[in-house]
Amino acid sequence: MGEAAATVLLSAHKPDNEAIILSGGTVSNDANHISGPSRTGEELFQAIDTAIKEAQIDNGKIDFISAHGTATLYNDDMESKAITLAGLQQIPLNSLKGYNGHTLGAAGLLETVISIESLMQGKIIPTLGFETPGTAQPVNVCSSVIEKELNVFLKTASGFGGCNAAIIVKKN
């Protein structure tokens, strides 16, 4: 467990200089169990697919994925299945919970803020503590810092009661 707070100011004003844009996002619910996610990943896939369509980009434009990544069997398997259904299994993926713990309600926004900073600095942060894959489907877990030009990332989050969320964030 971790403790954190994060804030993002959203505006309809589009600045002329470099800015961050929330270009697509949605929420789905699998209604599977109070604390266990769907075993198929279909509902998170639906959120990912809808966010990508709303952002009007194709999968090849996503530079990295900031996954919910709890390092638990059911959540990580579900995420790996959803990412595979979306055709994103080759995209570098990280989980930031190894650095901050699981901050429950703050996790999605905190990890989004950190990922925005990654985007701006051109650095994909590795998944702390990752050694061996343990998911149903292979995904491209980032195990060392990747430095490159970054423009777009996908953030996924999953919560109690079957809630799934996905957003696409990009540079202006």
- At residue 3, does pLDDT exceed 90? no
Mean pLDDT for 140-152 is 97
55 compared with 29, residue with greater pLDDT: 55
139's CB contacts (< 8 A; 6+ apart) are 79, 80, 83, 84, 89, 93, 133
Please write the tens of the pLDDT for every residue from 15-45.
Answer: 777 789 999 999 998 887 777 778 899 999 9
Where are the chain's structural domains? 34-171
Mean pLDDT for 126-138 is 91
Under 8 Å between Cβ of 37 and 30: yes
Confidence of residue 125 (pLDDT cuts 50, 70, 90): very high
Q: 50: part of which helix (H) or strand (E)?
A: helix 42-55
Mean pLDDT for 128-151 is 94
Confidence of residue 63 (pLDDT cuts 50, 70, 90): very high
pTM, full prediction: 0.93
User: What pLDDT score does 121 carry?
Assistant: 96
User: What pLDDT score does 119 carry?
Assistant: 97
User: What pLDDT score does 58 carry?
Assistant: 94
CATH architecture group of domain 34-171 = 3-Layer(aba) Sandwich (3.40)
Backbone φ, ψ for residue 43 (5° rounding):
-75, -40
